[in-house]
Amino acid sequence: MPLYVGLAQALLRRKPYFTEVRVDTFSRNYESNTYWLIAEQKAIVDLGSLTTAKQLPLDEACCIILTHLHYDHTAALDQLRLSGSTKIMMHEADAKAIGTSASAAHFFGARAPQYHVDTLLRDGTRIDLGDSILRVIHTPGHTPGSICLYEDNSKSLFSGDTVFPYGGIGRTDLPGGSSHDLVRSISRLAKLEVSILYPGHGEVTANNVNEQIKQSLTFAKANESPE
Ligand SMILES: [Zn+2]
Ligand SMILES: [Zn+2]
| 88 domain-assigned | yes
Terminal-to-terminal C-alpha distance of the chain:
50
Range of the domain at 108: 6-222
Helix, strand, coil fractions of the chain, as percent rounded to 5 = 30, 25, 45
- Ligand 1 midpoint to CA 159 (Å): 11
| 17 domain-assigned | yes
19 and 31 in contact (C-beta within 8 Å)? no
| Residue 82 burial (C-beta neighbours within 10 Å; 0-12, 13-18, 19+) | middle
- Ligand 2 midpoint to CA 121 (Å): 17
| 58 domain-assigned | yes
Instruction: List, as ranges, residues with CB under 5 A of the ion ligand 2.
Output: 70, 161
| 1 domain-assigned | no
- Ligand 2 midpoint to CA 62 (Å): 24
Query: CA 8, 155, 209 angle in degrees (round to 5)?
Result: 70
H helices of 15-88, in order, are 50-55, 71-74
| 77 domain-assigned | yes
Beta-sheet pairing, 34-38 with 42-45 = antiparallel
**pLDDT tens across 161-220, in order?**
999 999 999 999 999 999 999 999 999 999 999 999 999 998 889 999 999 999 999 999
Domain total for the chain? 1
In this structure, what CATH number is given to the domain that contains residue 107?
3.60.15.10
More confidently predicted of 118 and 82: 118
Which ligand approaches the C-alpha of residue 177 most closely?
2
Amino acid letter, residue 145: G
- Give the contacts of 74 (CB within 8 A, at least 6 positions apart): 46, 47, 48, 66, 103, 113, 115
| pTM (predicted TM-score) | 0.90
| 227 domain-assigned | no
**pLDDT tens across 111-161, in order?**
999 999 999 999 999 999 998 899 999 999 999 999 999 999 899 999 999
Q: Is the pLDDT of residue 13 over 50?
A: no
Which ligand approaches the C-alpha of residue 103 most closely?
2
- Ligand 1 midpoint to CA 121 (Å): 19
- Ligand 2 midpoint to CA 170 (Å): 7
| 51 domain-assigned | yes
Which ligand approaches the C-alpha of residue 199 most closely?
1
